[in-house]
Amino acid sequence: MCVQFFLLIASKTSVSVTYIVKAQLLVVYLPRGRRSIGRTTVPWNTGSMNTSTDEEEFCNEKTALMSAESPSVPLYDDGRGSQRAKESQTVRHRSSSSQINNTDREDHSSSRVSVTDSEVEELSLKYGAKHVIMLFVPVTLCMVVVVATIKSVSFYSTKNGQLIYTPFTEDTDSVGQRLLNSVLNTLIMISVIVVMTILLVLLYKYRCYKFIHGWLILSSLMLLFWFSYMYLGEVFKTYNVAMDYPTVALIIWNFGVVGMICIHWKGPLQLQQAYLIMISALMALVFIKYLPEWSAWVILGAISIYDLVAVLCPKGPLRMLVELAQERNEPIFPALIYSSAMIWFVGMAKHSSGSLSSQQEQDSDEEACNNRPEDGDLSRNTAASENRVGAVEELEEERGVKLGLGDFIFYSVLVGKAAATASGDWNTTLACFVAILIGLCLTLLLLAVFKKALPALPISITFGLIFYFSTDYLVRPFMDTLAEHQFYI
Amino acid sequence: MTVAVFFGCTFIAFGPAFALFVFTIARDPLRVIILIAGAFFWLLSLLMSSLVWFIAMKASNNEDYQLQRGLLIFGVMFSVILQEVFRFAYYKLLRKAMEGLVALSEDDSSPISVQQMAYVAGLGYGIMSGAFSMINILADSLGPGTVGIHGESQYYFLTSAFMTMAITLLHTFWGVLFFDGCEKKRWWMIAVVVCLHLLVSGLTFLNPVYEGSLPPAYIITVAMGVWAFLSSGGSLESIRNSLTCSKSSVNSQVGS
């Protein structure tokens, strides 16, 4: 039954993962020695802003960040994901390759002004750690929702059919046959994803934006209305709550409409973030339900490899997508990207900093920013960053990081599968959770080191898989035996 | 075996750790990262020691109860030693990171000090250790069942919770002391930490004679707490100063 729905939902998954974008970093020194390091990938053109980065400063940032284990300031720009989403019409596929793209260098223009940078670097470092946490929190929330649902609502952990993209059953007699079937399922799934990605690149290349938008909206509709209705129904069944249809209709209608508005148009940032997390969780739950066990693990592994290939190879579809998006200087479709925008103001004199959350990126800067005068003599115009003469202040504005929904989905699939199938063991779930977070941290660190587009899935999924299997087979017997005797290590 | 037991044991086991996290770590992103990395290192050490134990167990006779118990004891000891080795490795990693942080900043001071890193790393170890020991037990305490149905102790959940709390706090203090010993090159401190860890784990072999394991563990916890506090520069005076909120010329750097 759900097979058909997957088709449409598939587009959602295509927002793949990983694109971690730091939309904009702008540092402006007032008044003299204007130095701005910024990159804007968004619609407005800040003529007066120089996006520049000093080479040596980059190096400093780079080494600093590398040793400090924080992601660097440089912009991660990645265009993968949402484009893919559209075309994946009926394809239940997910855009896997998460890609953390740091292409600021290519992006921005010239004017390099040398700066005394230790301050900037230290701020960069602080921002780097802050960005890691800004990603930790939503990923953790999504995983918590998925694990809580899996552990309480039995619907999502019972097997009830398979999708057409994994036609081979795993109810076979021999281990070899089962393995073969899962590998075949994976091959089919991955090839569907590859085809869809290429289709997406072509669509994007030939500017079929309306088509893409249409698909996005359709898939969001399916997720926000149909799947949340199913989810609500199952939760009610689990807790034996009596409910009537008009109430449910009202709830789902409100939930869905507000979600559509928040995601596709405007809305409070946190509400949009919450909705994106919820739809990622819903998607992950559906995957957990309909992917057979061995196929799920093989698919997770294969997706990571595909991600690696697609992002790093010169002719990889994702890389081409990113380059196209950069050439056109367009933002990726925001409906499928989780964004956590933030604006920092730093006064050089007293280094007071404040953070204001801004709205979604598609809004223009002026709207999005809340101005907070620094020392009362600085009025900020985000687009143009006017400087007040005489006030030696450092203004820093930074947009938050962005992460494609596909990443959320696949991390949650891994942790959810661990929760569902690891013989009721919570240690496995916990181990996978920590492994994924560390993988994310390492990926951001690598990004700071290499400063180019990197896939974000492989490290986390690899760690997650290693920890899942080793915890389930090695650690679990050990800990169970220890608990039996009440020994502590 | 009810929700009450579940919540009670959860708060006993994880209350202090949770409070420490919320009040000292949650605000600072760098500390959160160090905490999670510490948890990861503990996990790695557990993985390796489980591997060794698993191989030993599979290679030996499964029916021989004494042999299996002996292997388990060996597994525990090996795991403790491996945990300390990984703690040292984590110390080295943090040191390298610290150098980078110092090089970055303009006034040659790092945004986080070694003592703070030691505390956070120790807490990461403690939280992960406690979670792995306790979460399954907590999950079981919710469901239907009878405690000690074959004649074992009735206080299984409670003692597990208390032991977990002790272990969590101990790891935190050991982290501080261990890093301090490494910084000042006092190898005897490290040796003492390792020996005490072995001792506490060894005491749990006396379970279910809880008198033999819990009170000594708590005595050691308090002793470690005091020692960690003193070694990070705290003193009676600094306590008094912090309580009366008065400024003092003495270096009032508080350890944990």
* Percentage of the residues of chain B whose pLDDT score is greater than 70: 94
Which chain B positions have a beta carbon within 8 Å of A480's beta carbon? 136
- Catalogue the E-assigned strands of A41-148: 99-100
CB contacts, 8 Å: A485 with chain B: 69, 72, 205, 207
pLDDT of residue A324: 84
Q: Which of A90-94, A454-458, B2-6, B101-105 has the highest mean pLDDT?
A: B2-6
Torsion sign across C-alpha atoms A233, A235, A238, A239: negative
Beta strands across the sheet bearing A454-455? A337-339, A401-404, A19-22, A99-100, A454-455
pLDDT at B227: 94
> How many residue pairs bridge chain A and chain B with CB atoms within 8 Å of each other?
147
The answer on pLDDT for B83 being more than 90 is yes
Distances (CA, A) of B120 to A174, B33, B36, B38: 49, 9, 9, 8
Q: What average pLDDT does range A209-238 have in this prediction? A: 91
- CB within 8 Å: A119 and B137: no
Closest Cα in chain A, distance from residue B188 (Å): 22
What percent of chain A is modeled with pLDDT above 70? 61
Inform me whether the pLDDT recorded for A315 exceeds 70.
yes
User: A 32-71 residues with CB below 8 A of B?
Assistant: 60, 63-70
Give the pLDDT of residue A432. 96
The answer on pLDDT for B248 being more than 60 is: no
* Residue A467 near chain B (CB below 8 Å): yes
CB contact under 8 A, A441 and B205: no
A486 in contact with B, Cβ within 8 Å:
yes
pLDDT band at A311 (very low <50, low <70, confident <90, very high): confident
Q: Residue B120: name the closest of B37, B198, B207, B64 by CA.
A: B37
Q: What is the structure's pLDDT at A127?
A: 58
Which of these ranges, A289-293, A460-464, B29-33, B247-251, has the smallest mean pLDDT?
Answer: B247-251
- The one-letter amino acid at A84: R
Alpha carbon of B214: minimum distance to chain A alpha carbons (Å): 11
Q: What digits encode the pLDDT tens for the residues A123-157?
A: 555 557 888 898 999 999 999 999 999 999 989 98
pTM flag (> 0.90): no
Mean pLDDT of chain B: 90
What six digits make up the tokens of B186? 């006092």
Is the Cβ pair B43, A435 closer than 8 Å?
yes
Q: Residues A461-466: what's their mean pLDDT?
A: 96
Give the list of residues 6+ apart from residue A245 with CB closer than 8 angstroms, or none.
none
* Residues of chain A contacting B37 with CB distance shorter than 8 Å: 438, 441
Compare B120 and A485 and report the one with higher pLDDT: B120
Give bridge partners of residue A356 from the DSSP assignment.
A343
> Do the Cβ atoms of A67 and B39 come within 8 Å?
no
Can you give the pLDDT at residue B233? 87
Question: Residues of B with CB below 8 A from A445's CB?
Answer: none
Please confirm whether the linkage preceding A43 is cis (ω < 30° from 0).
no
Cβ separation A470–B132 shorter than 8 A:
no
Locate the chain A residue with the closest alpha carbon to B37: A438
Chain B residues near residue A130 by CB distance under 8 angstroms: 29
* Sign of the CA dihedral running A311, A314, A318, A320: positive
Written as one letter, the residue type at A411 is Y
Q: Which chain B residues are closer than 8 Å to A478 by Cβ?
A: 46, 49-50, 53-54, 75
* Residue A75: predicted pLDDT: 32
Question: Would the pLDDT of A27 be above 50?
Answer: no
**pLDDT (mean) for B32-40:** 96
- B8: pLDDT strictly greater than 70: yes
Q: Which residue on chain B is closest to A442 by alpha carbon?
A: B37
**Cβ-count burial of A248 within 10 angstroms (0-12 exposed, 13-18 middle, 19+ buried)?**
middle
Res B16 pLDDT > 90: yes
* AA identity, residue A370: N
Note the pLDDT of residue B146.
85
* Contact list, B32 vs chain A (CB under 8 Å): 133, 136
Judge: B104–A435 Cβ closer than 8 Å, yes or no: no
**A278 pLDDT higher than 50:** yes
d(CA A176, CA A189): 20
Structure token digits, residue A197: 């990605």
Query: Which pLDDT score, from 0 to 100, does residue B12 have?
Result: 95
Q: Report the pLDDT value the prediction gives residue B151, as an integer from 0 to 100.
A: 82
Chain A interface mutation, best of B27, B50, B140, highest count of A Cβ atoms under 10 Å: B50
Nearest-by-CA chain B residue for A59? B104
- Alpha-carbon span A457 to A98, nearest angstrom: 5
Residues of B in contact with A437 (CB under 8 A): 36
State the smallest CA–CA distance between residue A204 and chain B in angstroms: 37
Summarize the confidence of residues B156-175 as an average pLDDT.
Answer: 95
Q: A88 or A311, which is more confident?
A: A311
Pairwise CB contact (< 8 Å): A479 & B133: yes
Q: Whole-angstrom Cα distance, residue B147 to residue A284?
A: 37
Query: What pLDDT score does B1 carry?
Result: 65
Work out the pLDDT band at B209, boundaries 50, 70, 90.
confident
Residue B93 in this model has a pLDDT that exceeds 60: yes
More confident residue, A267 or A377: A267
Residue A394, pLDDT above cutoff 70: no
- Picking from A46-55, A203-212, A446-455, B239-248, which range would have the lowest pLDDT averaged per residue? A46-55
CB contact under 8 A, A130 and B29: yes
Alpha-carbon distance B101 to B95, whole Å? 10
Closest by Cβ to B105, choosing from A63, A122, A473: A122
Interface test mutation site (partner A, options B32, B33, B82, B213, max chain A beta carbons within 10 A): B33
B58 to chain A, closest Cα gap in Å:
11
Q: What is the pLDDT of residues A425-453, one digit of tens each?
A: 899 999 999 999 999 999 888 877 777 76
Active site residues of A: 307, 407
Report yes or no: A121 at the B interface, CB cutoff 8 Å. Answer: yes
Helices B65-104 and B29-59: crossing angle, nearest 10°? 150
In Å, what is the CA distance from A405 to each residue of A276, A409, B228? 7, 6, 44
The most confident of A106-120, A327-341, A352-366, B68-82, by mean pLDDT = B68-82
In whole numbers, what is the pLDDT of chain A averaged over residues? 70
| Banded pLDDT at A216 (limits 50, 70, 90) | confident
Strands A99-100 and A19-22: parallel
User: Per-residue pLDDT tens for A44-79?
Assistant: 333 333 333 333 333 333 333 332 333 333 333 333
Question: What is the distance in angstroms between the Cα of A51 and the nearest Cα belonging to chain B?
Answer: 22
CB of A475 within 8 Å of any CB in chain B? yes
Which residues 6+ apart lie within 8 Å of B19 measured at CB? none
d(C-alpha A223, C-alpha B61), whole Å: 54
Q: Is the pLDDT of residue B142 over 50?
A: yes
Interface list for A 392-431 with B (CB within 8 A): 424-427, 430-431
pLDDT on residue A203? 86
Cβ separation B133–A488 shorter than 8 A: yes
CA A359 centroid distance within chain: 17
Rounded CA separation A402/A424 (Å): 34
In B, which residues are within 8 Å of A477 by CB distance?
50, 54, 57
pLDDT of residue A298: 94
Greater confidence (A402 vs A348) lies with: A402
The pLDDT value recorded for residue B206 is 86
Q: Which of A259-268, B49-58, B135-144 has maximum average pLDDT?
A: B49-58
pLDDT band for A2, please (50, 70, 90 cuts).
Answer: very low
Evaluate if residue A342 carries a pLDDT over 50.
yes
Instruction: Lowest mean pLDDT of A322-326, B19-23, B42-46, name the range.
Output: A322-326
Q: Mark yes or no for CB contact A68/B104 under 8 Å.
A: yes
DSSP string, A219-251: HHHIIIIIIHHHHHHHHHHHHT----HHHHHHH
Interface test with B, best of A346, A471, A472, A488 (most B CBs within 10 A): A488
Please give the average per-residue pLDDT across A240-269, as a whole number.
93
pLDDT the model gives residue A70: 32
Residue A43 CB neighbour total at 10 angstroms: 13
CB within 8 Å of A236: residues ≥ 6 apart: A243
- Alpha-carbon distance of A406 to A428, in angstroms, equals 23
Contact in structure between A455 and A435 (CB atoms under 8 Å)? no
pLDDT at A123 (0 to 100): 55
- Chain B residues within an 8 Å CB radius of A460: none
For residue A236, the model assigns a pLDDT of 95
Mean pLDDT over residues B145-149, rounded? 84
**C-alpha angle A231/A235/A238, rounded to 5°?**
140
Contact: B97, A67; criterion CB under 8 Å: yes
